[in-house]
Each structure stands twice: as C-alpha cells, then as structure tokens.
Amino acid sequence: MAQEALIIGAGFAGAVCARRLADKGYTVTLLEKRGHIAGNMYDEADAQGIRVHWYGPHIFHTSIQRVWEYLNRFTDFFPYEHRVLGWIDGQLVPIPFNYASLEALRPEQAPVLEQMLSNAFPGQKRISILDLLNRREPPLKELGEYIYDRVFVHYTAKQWQLPIEQVDRSVINRVPVVLGYDDRYFQDTWQAMPAEGYLPLFQALLDSPNICVCLNCDGLERLTLSEGRICLDGREWIGPVIYTGPLDELFRQQYGPLPYRSLELVTERYDREWFQPAAVVNYPNEEDFTRITEHKYLTGQVLPGTTIMKEYPLAYVPEKNLPYYPIASAESEALYQKYRTLADGYPRLHLCGRLAEYRYYNMDGVISRALELSDSIED
C-alpha cells in the first residue's frame, strides 16, 4: 500500500518535499493555511498585470548546482542580475558599497583610499564592514566608520529595532563592502528569475496526481502531538510529517514565543513607465521604510505604468502580521533548541524551512535542505 506523507506549509520547503515524496510514490497531503500556494514567493499579478511579490521581493540566486537543476525541471528562467542603489548623503550610489560609491561620495580621497584598501586586503574582492572598522590606519578606519554609519547602523536599527552591536554578525555580513566595481547584489553562479513568475513554478511543482493540496487549512487546528504520536483529525498519522511553520507554534508556545521581525508592505501604483533607476533602492537613513522595490525590474514585463513596494519593518504580532525574519541571538537559539528537543520526541516529525528551522535561509538554502530531507525519508 502507498505510504502517506503529511506536509504543513506550501512554500519552497513544503512544495519541494511534497513533489519529491510524490515522485517516490507517497500519497501526499499538503495543508496550507493561506488561500494560495507558494508561501512568501507568491507573486500573482496586480490589477495592471504586474506580478507583485506580495510578501516582499524575491530574487533567485544560487551556487548549488543541484538546486538550479532541480528548479529547471519546473520552469524556464530569464537571466537577471540584481542591482541595488542606496540613497546616501543626497545621492543614489551602489549597494553593496563599492569603488563607484566611494568615488561618488568622496571623489577627492577615493584614489588614495582605493590604493590603501587594496594594500590592506590583498587579493580580496569583498570584505566585511566589521573588518574595515577594525583597521588601524586612520583613513581606512574613518572610511569604515563612514560606511558603517551611512549604510548599516540606521538601516539595521530600523530593520531589527536593535542597536547594531546586538545584531548577529552573520546578518550584517550578508552585505559586504566591495573592493572594485562589481555592483551586483549577489555573486552566485546562477542568477535568474522564473520566466512567468513563482506561482506557475509552484503550480508545476505541485502538479502530481499523488499530491492533494488543502488551502485555507491551518494544520495546527487539525494536528495533535502527544507522547511521541502525531494525530490528524484524531487519527494517528503513521507516515512522515514535514512541518514548515513556526516551531514554537507547533508546541503551543509552551516555553514562550520565539522572536521574529515582521514587515508592513505598502504598494503604490504610478502611471509612468519607471519610478526609480534600479529594481531596489535602499533608504538606510532618513525614511521609516528600509527599501523600495519596483517590481517590473524583477519580472521583465513590458507594461505601461509601474508598481512599487515600500518595506516598513515592524514587531511581529501573532494574528496581526507575519513572522518574516527569525531574530538570531544566543537567547533565541537556546529557546529554539528547547523546542527542537521536544520535536526530537516525535520520530516521524521532520522540520524544514525558514520558520521550522528558525534560520535566515535564502530560497536556495531551503530548497537544498528540502531535497536532502526528502532523500533521507525512506521509500
């Protein structure tokens, strides 16, 4: 008899696991509490036909060959290299901060500083702002302090509502300082966007006679976990269960809530061809929002008018908004590990994804993890 698998959540974690298990012969039940598939990648067109990334801009990039090849089974891609500008001291300059940013903001000192940078970091194309701050040479230290202040300190305070010193280095180091003119936001081998958007990619992923998707279906209202047994609607589930939602919610927050940051995403429509000169413009300093995305750059669509999205960081309030970003810290990791220990008491339960693993994963990291997890589940 075919084995049954239960999956909670239809983002990349859940959808990739669903497809892989379906291809292995499992009958898969996929519960999704939203009214649509694709998780935070959901990008249905707005009234003007522009595909908007309704849960924030999602740019695909990976150096993991297996992930790239797997996705290519389900969609065509068009090449897309992401470039970001930042509004700094009254100018739009490349982010990550690079030599062009330096030359625009410090034209007179730039040649000397560039020479000093290449002497201080021989052979390196990208460095951490934290390494620049630690330099002893006064001009480099001063440059580090300038970039730190104009690019990182206030953006980070808005995004995380914490002083930058309390934000995990791994978060800050996602955005380097570039020693050269490479103005791409990512350096991965494959940088591309799904030709018709993410939603058709997810439709193709889930297009299997072995997958049954239930939308508007909150798994936590139907699951019970007790003494190593998992029940769905009161019936014990004997196959694998893959959970991709917040781990604290699965255990009714019995040790208290895991902290997350949320966002308010505000879209605006303009009756002109373009709103801004790049897909994303970061506003590290004066504004309340952190960045503006202009979606047509991400979709490659040629349409009149344009739709933009502003991101206002917010505290996460359950029921009111969404848990977008896990907050990395020693305390949150310790709390997460307590929930993880509870999860370990359920041999059929597998955790996968940004929320269930409480990790600041990019899409490719989640897909890679979902491929590995589904490999490890026995046929």
Name the residues that contact ligand FAD, by CB under 6 A: 8-14, 31-34, 39-40, 56-59, 218-220, 244-245, 263, 324-325, 353-355, 361-364, 366
Give the one entry of ligand UDP, ligand FAD, none that residue 293 binds, where binding means its C-beta sits below a cut-off of 5 to 8 angstroms depending on kind: none
* Residue 62 per-residue DSSP state: E
Give the one entry of ligand FAD, ligand UDP, none that residue 172 binds, where binding means its C-beta sits below a cut-off of 5 to 8 angstroms depending on kind: ligand UDP
Residue of 14, 176, 259, 284 interacting with ligand UDP (CB under 6 A): 284
Residue of 64, 110, 171, 371 interacting with ligand UDP (CB under 6 A): 171
Question: In whole angstroms, what is the distance from residue 92 CA to residue 90 CA?
Answer: 7
Side-by-side strand order, sheet with 91-95? 91-95, 84-88, 280-282, 291-294, 306-315, 260-270, 325-326
> Where does this chain touch ligand UDP (CB under 6 A) — which range of 2-10, 147-155, 327-335, 343-351?
147-155
Question: In whole angstroms, what is the distance from residue 296 CA to residue 302 CA?
Answer: 8
- Nearer Cβ to ligand UDP (86/219): 86
Residue of 169, 174, 229, 269 interacting with ligand UDP (CB under 6 A): 174
Give the one entry of ligand UDP, ligand FAD, none that residue 219 binds, where binding means its C-beta sits below a cut-off of 5 to 8 angstroms depending on kind: ligand FAD
Residue of 159, 262, 299, 374 interacting with ligand UDP (CB under 6 A): 159
Distance of CA 39 to the CA centre of its chain: 11
- Nearer Cβ to ligand UDP (5/263): 263
Q: What tokens appear for 47 in the block? A: 């009234």
Question: In whole angstroms, what is the distance from residue 54 CA to residue 38 CA?
Answer: 11
In the complex, minimum distance from the CB of residue 313 to ligand UDP, in angstroms, rounded to a whole number: 9
- Nearer Cβ to ligand UDP (34/158): 158
Question: In whole angstroms, what is the distance from residue 169 CA to residue 232 CA?
Answer: 41
**Phi and psi, residue 346, nearest 5°:** -120, 95
- Does the protein bind ligand UDP through residue 366 (CB under 6 A)? no
- Does the protein bind ligand UDP through residue 262 (CB under 6 A)? no
194 burial (CB, 10 Å; 0-12 / 13-18 / 19+) is buried
In the complex, minimum distance from the CB of residue 233 to ligand UDP, in angstroms, rounded to a whole number: 37
In the complex, minimum distance from the CB of residue 371 to ligand UDP, in angstroms, rounded to a whole number: 22
233 burial (CB, 10 Å; 0-12 / 13-18 / 19+) is exposed
- Nearer Cβ to ligand FAD (124/161): 161
- Nearer Cβ to ligand FAD (96/353): 353
Q: Which residues pair with 8 in a beta bridge?
A: 31, 243
Total length of the chain: 379
Question: In whole angstroms, what is the distance from residue 284 CA to residue 172 CA?
Answer: 13
Give the one entry of ligand FAD, ligand UDP, none that residue 308 binds, where binding means its C-beta sits below a cut-off of 5 to 8 angstroms depending on kind: none
In the complex, minimum distance from the CB of residue 144 to ligand FAD, in angstroms, rounded to a whole number: 27
Give the one entry of ligand FAD, ligand UDP, none that residue 245 binds, where binding means its C-beta sits below a cut-off of 5 to 8 angstroms depending on kind: ligand FAD
HSE-CB for 22 with a 13 A CA cutoff:
20
Distances in Å between the Cα of 272 and the Cα atoms of 121, 132, 277, 300 are 44, 41, 13, 16
- Nearer Cβ to ligand UDP (55/74): 55
Give the one entry of ligand UDP, ligand FAD, none that residue 14 binds, where binding means its C-beta sits below a cut-off of 5 to 8 angstroms depending on kind: ligand FAD
- Does the protein bind ligand UDP through residue 155 (CB under 6 A)? yes
344 burial (CB, 10 Å; 0-12 / 13-18 / 19+) is exposed
Residues lying near ligand UDP in the complex (CB under 6 A) are found at 86, 95, 151-152, 155-156, 159, 167, 171-172, 174-175, 282, 284
